[in-house]
Amino acid sequence: MRRESPGRLVVASAAKVNLFLEVLGRRPDGYHELETVFQEIALFDEIEVERVGGAEGEIDFACDLPGLAPPGRNLVERAARSFLDAARIREPVRIRLRKTIPAGSGLGGGSSNAAATLLALDRLFAARTPAARLEELAAALGSDCVFFLHGGSAIGRGRGERVEPLRDLPSREFLVIVPPVAVSTAEIYADLAARLKADSDLRTIPLDELRSEDPTLVRRSLHNRLETVAFARHPELRRAADAIRAAGIDHARLTGSGGALFAVFDARTGASAAAKTLDSASQQPSGRVFIAASVSRRP
Chain residues in the site for ligand C5P (CB under 6 A):
31-32, 34, 142-144, 159-160, 185-186, 189
Least Å from the CB of residue 115 to ligand C5P: 12
CA 160 to chain centroid, in Å, comes to: 11
3-state secondary structure of 82: helix
Question: Do residues 178 and 263 touch, judged by C-beta distance below 8 A?
Answer: no
Query: Can 144 be counted among the known catalytic residues?
Result: yes
- Residue 71 burial (CB count, 10 A): 7
Fill in the DSSP letter of residue 32: E
Least Å from the CB of residue 164 to ligand C5P: 16
Question: Do residues 57 and 94 touch, judged by C-beta distance below 8 A?
Answer: no
Least Å from the CB of residue 145 to ligand C5P: 8
Fill in the DSSP letter of residue 171: P
Q: Which is nearer to ligand C5P, 34 or 243 (CB)?
A: 34
| Helices vs strands, H then E, count in the chain | 10, 12
Q: Which is nearer to ligand C5P, 186 or 198 (CB)?
A: 186
Query: Can 64 be counted among the known catalytic residues?
Result: no
Q: Which is nearer to ligand C5P, 48 or 189 (CB)?
A: 189
3-state secondary structure of 102: coil
Least Å from the CB of residue 11 to ligand C5P: 21
Q: From the candidates 45, 64, 99, 144, which is the catalytic residue?
A: 144
> What amino acid positions are annotated as catalytic residues?
16, 144
